[in-house]
Structure 1
Amino acid sequence: MSSTHRPTDIQLHQKSRILELTYSDGSHFELPCEFLRVYSPSAEVRGHGKGQEVLQVGKEDVNITGIEPVGNYAVKLVFSDGHDTGIYDWDYLHELGTNQERLWQDYLDRLKEAGHERKTH
């Protein structure tokens, strides 16, 4: 499995709950842990097909407690709420960064539709 977007640097900032990714094409993303958690590529979040996605709620304070390499193509992120089944390949992380604003707004809209209010600190 080869990836077109391989990060040259990954840094976890636990205090601010941000995963910082730098790519060789010059792109740079700061992805909040909550964002990464609610867009986990795991079956638990994505479901097993289109329309089976499971809205994640109450993840405002989630943090990443571990980053484990998976071959040369991905990382497994371990979250403070115990979630650790998502394999984030390099292209998926790049896609999340590239589409962060739209995806975040989509998440906020889905929370609102479901009647959930995000806690803000």
Structure 2
Amino acid sequence: MIPLELKINSPRSLLSVTWDDGAVSLIPASVLRARSRAAQQVRADVEGKARSFETVTVTNAEAIGSYAIRLVFSDGHDRGIYPWSYLREIAEFSGLRNENG
């Protein structure tokens, strides 16, 4: 799956992804931050030190080639790279996927 459009809402708390199959995913910034694969976040998860990111917002987004997006969050975390397949997996996990677009 490849995204056709990525939008961050104006409070910067939600990423909207329109996929090439017509599905639209609405992914909260807090979920994206919690699901970061950056080493620091993975280690915290393994050690059972997961934090709540309810107030975290997306402050910047940058394309990584044609395969991923790098998100920067309001808590300073800037090492999260989200390949399209992983972004879709997060969307399906979060339960905020709109099949009708």
TM-score > 0.5 by shorter chain: yes
TM-score band, normalised by shorter chain: 0.7 to 0.9
Superposition RMSD in Å = 1.7
Number of aligned residues: 94
Equivalences for 1:42-61 in 2 at 5 Å? 42-47=38-43, 52=46, 55-61=49-55
Q: How far apart, in 1, do the equivalents of 2:12 and 2:59 lie?
A: 13
Counterpart of 1:99 in structure 2 is 93
Query: Higher Cα Rg: structure 1 or 2?
Result: 1
Identity %: 35
The alignment's TM-score, normalised by the length of structure 2, stands at 0.84
Counterpart of 2:31 in structure 1 is 35
2:23 partner letter: S
2:33 partner letter: R
Say if 2:3 and 2:19, in contact at 8 Å, map to a contact too: yes
1:86 partner letter: G
Where does structure 2 lack aligned partners over 5 or more consecutive residues? 96-101
Following superposition, the deviation at residue 45 of structure 1 comes to 1.1
The alignment's TM-score, normalised by the length of structure 1, stands at 0.71
In the alignment, does 2:67 pair up with 1:82? no
Where does structure 1 lack aligned partners over 5 or more consecutive residues? 102-121
Q: 1:30 to 1:12 in 2, by over 3 A?
A: same
